Amino acid sequence: MIKKLLGIAPKLEADGSYSPSKVALKLATVDKTDFENISYPKYQGKKSKILAIFTEQKNMTMKNGKKFSTGNHPVESLVPMLHLKNAGFDFEIATISGKPVVFEMWAFPEKDEHVQSIYKEYKSDFEQPKKLQDFIDHSFTKSDSYAAVFVPGGHGAMLGIPESKNVGEILNWAHNNDLFTITLCHGPGALLSTTLNDQKFLYEGYKMAVFPDSVDKQTPMVGYLPGHMPFGLSERLKSLGAKLMNTKSDDTVCLDRKLITGASPLASNNLGKLAANTLLKELK
């Protein structure tokens, strides 16, 4: 009751999950992003496709048993896509089983016309994405058509994706074919898939920006999360040999070899710019 009066009680949704409290939404979401509408020189080559792997899962079970209403963070998904689209790249949207993409709609920047525009442009693809197995079966032989794999953030990126052998296979395919891998916030959870079946972590020794566990541990206090996380992502990556470049949920971005990463929603614009400029430079 006290938490409700203070506005820090997570909101109970119809399916029994919890979305962030009023205070948490004020602190952590925006109705308009800092997206910079840059006119890049358009990429004209044949490697114009980017495979974007989204989560199809909504609810994350916290340590206390409560479910967090999550999915893909719309800013972390759509702002990097805007930059890459402006640079001449197009997206193939995919989920593990081909079920529709799930977004954290409580974080959608309703007054951002650019984000609204690209969301509407790809809405049918979000509703009917490709199945990862179909991509593996039909597109692995077409690596010269692809520039990168993109895994957007949102806590939902930690649901199913880190345990998917198909995600691991795709990241190894990208690595072996000299494609870029772009991800941010909790999206680097996808990188854990490369350790399945006792394989060595593909990104051991890589510098990367990731959402810090220390911040996830604090957010239940203001009702962003309804409980503590099932596991700590940044510490798990660090234990595998990743070199973390940030300690705060800030706008840090990092490029190490073919891996491009960002720290949090605040890094979405910087990540998009870094990815667009890097791909344009490297794919000349």
Set 151, 158, 185, 267: catalytic member: 185
Known catalytic residue: 254? no
The residue written with tokens 């953030």 in the block is 153
200 CB burial (10 A radius; 0-12, 13-18, 19+): exposed
180 touches 157 (CB < 8 A): no
106 CB burial (10 A radius; 0-12, 13-18, 19+): middle
Angle formed by the axes of helices 165-176 and 132-139, nearest 10°: 30
In sequence order, which residues have a C-beta less than 8 Å from that of residue 237 and are 6 or more positions away? 188, 191, 192, 208, 210, 244
Beta bridge partners of 86: none
Query: Which residues are tagged catalytic?
Result: 185
